[in-house]
Amino acid sequence: MKQVTAYRCQHCGKLFMRDYNCRKHEPQCTKNPLVRPLCYDCKFYQNADDREEVKIWVDSYFGEQCYTKQFYPNKCTHPDKDCRLFANIHVSEDTYIALTEEEWEAMPTPKEKCPYFEQHKYGKIREI
């Protein structure tokens, strides 16, 4: 048996063999409180049960192509902001454009702030 050195993400606990890979992962980690959308801990956030199809246009070698992708339209139920939401942590640019054209809104992070955010009683306590 050989002992090895491993590096662990301080947010999610994922292990890496190289420190470079761990340092690259941590700023994008979905458990990172600086990147994790506020909506997940907000009392106005509502998970969706149904899926919606969104057409996404992509520029490729063969020209512009369209494909459809299914998303769960999570919602903000605040009376002043009733909208469909998507988490934009690991979303491609083409998908981001397609969703915003369909009037979906990206979930705000603590850095971007949200004027309607109210801590859910079961959510993680956040300093905003």
User: Tens of pLDDT along 79-106?
Assistant: 998 888 988 778 888 888 888 888 888 9
User: In whole angstroms, what is the distance from residue 43 CA to residue 23 CA?
Assistant: 33
Does 74 map to a domain?
yes
Whether 46 and 92 share a structural domain: yes
- What pLDDT is attached to residue 23? 96
**Angle ∠(115,10,123) on CA atoms, nearest 5:** 35
126 pLDDT exceeds 60?
Answer: no
Residue 80 forms beta bridges with which residues? none
Q: Which of 105, 85, 106, 109 is nearest to 29 (CA)?
A: 109
pLDDT digits (tens, 9 = 90+) for 2-21: 888 999 999 999 999 999 99
Whether 6 and 68 share a structural domain: no
Does 23 map to a domain?
yes
Whether 57 and 106 share a structural domain: yes
> Domain containing 2: what range?
1-32
Which amino acid, residue 110? P
Whether 44 and 22 share a structural domain: no
**Of the ranges 42-46, 109-113, 118-122, which one carries the lowest mean pLDDT score?**
118-122
- What pLDDT is attached to residue 128? 46
pLDDT digits (tens, 9 = 90+) for 47-68: 888 888 888 877 778 888 888 8
**Of the ranges 20-29, 66-75, 106-115, which one carries the lowest mean pLDDT score?**
66-75
Whether 85 and 47 share a structural domain: yes
Whether 2 and 51 share a structural domain: no
- What pLDDT is attached to residue 125? 56
- What pLDDT is attached to residue 112? 86
Does 124 map to a domain?
no
Number of domains in the chain: 2
Q: Which residue has the higher pLDDT, 122 or 24?
A: 24
Contact in structure between 30 and 12 (CB atoms under 8 Å): yes
Q: What three-state secondary structure class fits 122?
A: coil
| 116's tokens | 């309607």
